[in-house]
């Protein structure tokens, strides 16, 4: 019996990350909705067969209830599981998933240090900016933070594989969100509780700071979720302008989020989702090459089926085979194999997409597939006899 521990540990971490992430984001969406929907600090709701009557106390109630529920472990475990997963897939697996020698020649240690520096740097920059006067102006703050993240995405894409760049932007945003809970929101709430227990009036600035960070988290949620699912979509992370695509979709998500935030307060404005949807479609057209003329590029050169097979044998078969030879690859990834001509034909459009257009395959590009070879493979796939 052979156990693929890396795969099983990865599964457990990913599962945990998803569950804790849902618990965290779910409760935070709920509280944003609740806060916006209160009328005279009260709200009635029905759920699961019971009626609920909620009441908000602006700074805090006159005396502390014995049993107060804190929402924090959901956030902490989302970060812990996420960080372990990042370490397993992108740091332990740096050679395959993080480093792209065509972009920058790094050894795994350097790549990991750079990745960690971006994550820590993101929080330091964000937290410092919050504490300046700019932090008081939500719109201006939002624009600067958005540009800073877009710049980081651009820089990361010069250093790492597209996938590695995306996940690091996601880790930067996610870390800021959890650090907001850990370093600001919860400590401030603790101070409020302590003041109340001591019979003093809590400082309203503590609540205001926590509110600012919560508001930021609210708008960062949709982009971070997009990044977490983006590794299923090579048309996003694999695009040469992947950082621009990420900026476009994040901007679209701002309009969607804003729609719901306003709607909870009774202000329904369909311009927001309309603009968000138009942005989404523009990103789709851009990513598909409509604007840069690469869609459907063809080449006149003759390439035989035998050459196609040989290119695939050299660059793909270590993994995409019934009997993979690549270390750590117990079976063909996603069950996709290119052993026979039948299989190659069946997968031809996807082979072309990943190896010729997006170029994120061969994963890790260990045998240095050249531009010339990619072009040849693309032309050959187009000419395969049906």
CA gyration radius, the chain: 25
Specify the residue for token string 């993979």.
Answer: 324
Specify the residue for token string 């990745």.
Answer: 115
Which x/- pattern over 336-355 shows residues binding ligand HEC (rule: CB under 6 A)? x----------x--xx--xx
Contact between 358 and ligand HEC per CB under 6 A = no
Rounded Cα–Cα distance for residues 277 and 362 (Å): 34
Residue 60 or 348: the one with the smaller Cβ distance to ligand HEC is 348
Tell which one of 98, 245, 249, 361 touches ligand HEC (CB under 6 A). 361
Could you tell me which of 238, 110, 222, 106 has the C-alpha nearest to residue 165?
238
Burial class of residue 252, CB neighbours in 10 A (0-12, 13-18, 19+) = buried
User: Which among 39-47, 123-131, 193-201, 328-336 is the span making contact with ligand HEC, rule CB under 6 A?
Assistant: 328-336
Contact between 318 and ligand HEC per CB under 6 A = yes
Tell which one of 14, 191, 309, 326 touches ligand HEC (CB under 6 A). 326
Q: Give the count of residues interacting with ligand HEC (CB under 6 A).
A: 21
Residue 21 or 380: the one with the smaller Cβ distance to ligand HEC is 380
Residues 22-81 that bind ligand HEC (CB under 6 A): none
Contact between 363 and ligand HEC per CB under 6 A = yes
Contact between 381 and ligand HEC per CB under 6 A = no
User: Which among 65-73, 137-145, 281-289, 313-321 is the span making contact with ligand HEC, rule CB under 6 A?
Assistant: 313-321
CB of 344 to ligand HEC, least distance (A): 9
Q: Please answer whether residues 156 and 164 qualify as being in contact, where contact means their C-beta atoms are separated by less than 8 angstroms.
A: yes
Residues 113-132 that bind ligand HEC (CB under 6 A): none
Specify the residue for token string 């992108």.
Answer: 90
Which x/- pattern over 81-110 shows residues binding ligand HEC (rule: CB under 6 A)? ---------------x--------------
Q: Please answer whether residues 276 and 256 qualify as being in contact, where contact means their C-beta atoms are separated by less than 8 angstroms.
A: yes
Rounded Cα–Cα distance for residues 57 and 55 (Å): 7
* Structure-derived torsion over alpha carbons of residues 229, 138, 179, 177, reported in degrees to the nearest 10: -20
Could you tell me which of 94, 73, 115, 79 has the C-alpha nearest to residue 224?
79
Give the footprint of ligand HEC on this chain (CB under 6 A).
96, 315-316, 318-320, 326, 329, 333-334, 336, 347, 350-351, 354-355, 361-364, 369
């Amino acid at each position: 019996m052979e156990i693929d521990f890396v795969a099983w540990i990865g599964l457990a971490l990913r599962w945990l990350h998803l569950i804790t992430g849902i618990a965290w984001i779910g409760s935070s969406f709920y509280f944003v909705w609740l806060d916006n929907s209160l009328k005279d600090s009260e709200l009635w709701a029905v759920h699961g067969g019971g009626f609920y009557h909620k009441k908000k106390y602006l700074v805090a109630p006159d005396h502390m209830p014995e049993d107060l529920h804190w929402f924090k472990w959901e956030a902490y475990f989302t970060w812990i599981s996420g960080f372990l997963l990042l370490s397993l897939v992108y740091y332990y697996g740096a050679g395959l998933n993080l480093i792209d020698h065509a972009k920058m020649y790094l050894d795994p240690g350097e790549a990991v240090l750079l990745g960690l520096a971006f994550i820590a740097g993101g929080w330091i920059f964000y937290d410092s900016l919050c504490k300046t006067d700019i932090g008081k102006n939500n719109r201006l703050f939002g624009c600067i933070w958005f540009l800073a993240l877009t710049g980081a995405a651009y820089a990361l894409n010069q250093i790492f594989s597209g996938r590695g760049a995306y996940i690091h932007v996601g880790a930067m945003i996610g870390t800021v969100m959890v650090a907001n809970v850990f370093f600001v929101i919860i400590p401030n709430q603790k101070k409020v509780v302590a003041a109340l227990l001591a019979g003093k009036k809590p400082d309203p600035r503590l609540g205001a700071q926590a509110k600012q960070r919560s508001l930021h988290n609210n708008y960062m949620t949709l982009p971070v979720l997009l990044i977490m699912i983006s590794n299923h979509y090579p048309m996003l992370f694999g695009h040469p302008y992947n950082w621009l695509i990420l900026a476009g979709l994040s901007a679209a998500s701002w309009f969607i989020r804003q729609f719901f935030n306003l709607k909870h307060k009774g202000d329904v404005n369909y311009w927001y989702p309309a603009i968000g949807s138009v942005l989404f479609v523009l990103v789709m057209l851009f990513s598909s090459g409509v604007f840069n003329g690469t869609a459907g590029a063809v080449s006149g050169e003759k390439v035989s089926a035998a050459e196609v097979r040989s290119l695939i044998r050299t660059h793909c078969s270590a993994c995409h085979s019934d009997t993979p030879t690549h270390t750590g690859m117990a079976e063909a990834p996603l069950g996709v194999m290119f052993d026979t001509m039948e299989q190659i034909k069946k997968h031809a459009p996807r082979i072309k997409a990943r190896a010729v257009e997006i170029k994120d395959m061969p994963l890790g590009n260990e045998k240095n597939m050249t531009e010339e070879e990619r072009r040849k493979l693309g032309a050959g796939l187009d000419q395969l006899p049906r």
